[in-house]
Amino acid sequence: MVSNSLNIALQELLDTIERMRKEHGRSEEYLKLRKDLPKDWPL
């Protein structure tokens, strides 16, 4: 799991992902990368 690899708690990882989505969710780069992930992936 990513949180284990980064040595952080799962909730901390989810909070970071949510913050990134809020800050960059409309950027062209974010949308390009996001389209390659499953819709239910938490980003």
pLDDT, tens digit, 9 for 90 and up, residues 4-40: 778 889 899 889 989 999 999 999 999 998 888 888 8
pLDDT band at 1 (very low <50, low <70, confident <90, very high): low
How far is residue 9's CA from residue 17's CA, in Å, rounded to a whole number?
13
pTM over 0.75: no
Q: Name, in order, each residue with C-beta under 8 angstroms of 35's C-beta and a sequence gap of 6 or more.
A: none
How far is residue 10's CA from residue 13's CA, in Å, rounded to a whole number?
5
Tokens 């909070």 -> residue: 15
Does residue 42 carry a pLDDT above 80? no
How far is residue 4's CA from residue 31's CA, in Å, rounded to a whole number?
26
pLDDT value of residue 43: 61
